[in-house]
Amino acid sequence: MSTPTSSRPLTLAEAFDPRANSIGFLRWLMAFLVIFSHAGPLAGFYGGKDLGTTISTEQSLGGVAVAGFFFFSGYLITQSRRGSSTIFRYFWRRALRIFPAFWLALLGTAFILAPIAWIKETGSIAGYWGADTESPLTYFFHNMWLDLSQRNIAGMGGSLPLADHGGRDWNGSAWTLIYEFKAYIFVGVLGLFGILGHRFLATSAAVTIIIVNAFTWAGIGNLVAINPALGNPFNAMFFAPFAFGMLFALWGDKIPIDDRLAAFALVLALVTYDVGGWNIYGQYGFCYVLMWFAIRATRLNNWERFGDMSYGVYIFAWPLMTFGAFFGLQDHGWLVYHVVIVVAVHVAAFISWHLIELPAMSLKSWTPRPLAAAIAALAPSVDRVKGRLVDPRYSSAPYARRAREEQGAGR
């Protein structure tokens, strides 16, 4: 972390310390907020609605938290992609972060939680494994690639008083993960074609997304005529905070971390959440406050000393809340319900981090021996082809960058 050289406030690049920030705490807090938000549709609190929807017509507090997730992802993933890793290594690392724990959540739901809930509903396990529709045996395979084509298992949930509020969906939070991975693909492609190496080109891509999102929620233009994908408002809604995070990664040396600016951004976020304009511009004030807090609240930088449990909290909360609903946990009141769910979710997230997520991430630099041998054998031929096709003076590819560095060292 640098000290200011003038009376101006520190920029993001000067103030941000990768080893001393509270992003870990904020991601956990936002995952925690999702639990409270979803207690409405799953447990019948807050009138059976997501928390916050009685204030804002645009977004629940759970949706606000998801915007924060995407903002930090845009910042961190763009920083990572601008490094020297190949496109294959980049996607390998992204897959390791998303899929292993998600697969555990799917398998744990289909083979542990749902069977127990079935027995609670019917009195025995008979009929569960052989269900004609929404079979537990297909639940994993229908959802494993993030496109949730099977939300329910064995037609369960009909006996719940809250069935129409989300009781028929065993993991109603996980539908946002596919948008997260789409954003990873977007950044990966930008890096593949060298766009991230040119700040103004990458900025144009990010700003275009933010403008499209504003047009979507302001009802301006016929965006579907431009691209059918724009007919799905969630593409723009989730990509917008992600793109804003990209801008923070691209322009960190220009963005000031200013207490007065943070106060204005907070007011902007609160007012637009109440009166309207949150999805169009208010959320960016919220995102700025998150980054400001991440830098200023350095005392929370050791929050993840027991593990990064934010992702686990996010993917296990809804299944456990649904499971609790089968046993009438909500009937014991708001406090008991939340205490039990919070403890159970954090136990699951702790186990997931230490048994699944952390071991998976340890493989981020792993290459199977046959593939490593093939890469080593082909490397001389590949380098010869690159040497003929790539002029280091006009390329931002890692190969060209290394060639320029070697040329500079040889002078």
Residues 382 and 353 in one domain: no
pLDDT of residue 381: 84
Residues 283 and 386 in one domain: no
pLDDT of residue 4: 52
Q: Please report how many Cα atoms fall inside a 13 Å half-sphere around the Cα of residue 42, on the Cβ side.
A: 28
Distance of CA 301 to the CA centre of its chain: 20
Cβ atoms of 320 and 344 within 8 Å: the answer is: yes
**Does residue 2 fall inside a structural domain?**
no
Residues 328 and 185 in one domain: yes
Residues 184 and 328 in one domain: yes
Rounded mean pLDDT of 67-76?
96
**Does residue 7 fall inside a structural domain?**
no
**Does residue 6 fall inside a structural domain?**
no
| Percentage of residues of the chain with pLDDT beyond 90 | 60
Residues 336 and 380 in one domain: no
Distance of CA 410 to the CA centre of its chain: 44
pLDDT of residue 220: 86
Residues 271 and 301 in one domain: yes
Cβ atoms of 104 and 316 within 8 Å: the answer is: no
| Percentage of residues of the chain with pLDDT beyond 70 | 95
**Does residue 5 fall inside a structural domain?**
no
Name which of 242, 215, 245, 243 is nearest 230 in CA terms.
215
| pLDDT tens for each residue of 130-161 | 998 899 999 999 999 999 999 999 998 877 76
The mean of the pLDDT values for the chain is 89
pLDDT of residue 98: 96
Name which of 52, 61, 1, 57 is nearest 29 in CA terms.
61
Range of the domain at 384: 371-410
Rounded Cα distance, 154 and 270, in Å: 42
**Does residue 270 fall inside a structural domain?**
yes
Q: Please report how many Cα atoms fall inside a 13 Å half-sphere around the Cα of residue 76, on the Cβ side.
A: 16
In single-letter form, the type of residue at position 190 comes to L
Residues 258 and 317 in one domain: yes
Rounded mean pLDDT of 94-99?
95
Residues 319 and 192 in one domain: yes
pLDDT bucket at 375, cuts 50 / 70 / 90: confident
Give the SS3 label for residue 58: coil
**Does residue 366 fall inside a structural domain?**
no
Local structure of residue 10 (DSSP, 8 states): P
Rounded Cα distance, 178 and 282, in Å: 24
| pLDDT tens for each residue of 230-263 | 778 889 999 999 999 999 999 999 999 999 999 9
Residues 297 and 207 in one domain: yes
pLDDT of residue 357: 96
**Does residue 1 fall inside a structural domain?**
no
| pLDDT tens for each residue of 184-236 | 999 999 998 889 989 999 999 999 999 999 999 988 877 776 777 777 888 99
Residues 134 and 258 in one domain: yes
How many structural domains is the chain composed of?
2
pLDDT of residue 165: 60
Residues 357 and 404 in one domain: no
What does the DSSP assignment read for 253-311?
A: TT-B--HHHHHHHHHHHHHHHHHS-IIIIIHHHHHHHHHHHHHH-GGGTTGGGG---HH
Residues 182 and 319 in one domain: yes
pLDDT surpasses 70 at 281: yes
**Does residue 210 fall inside a structural domain?**
yes
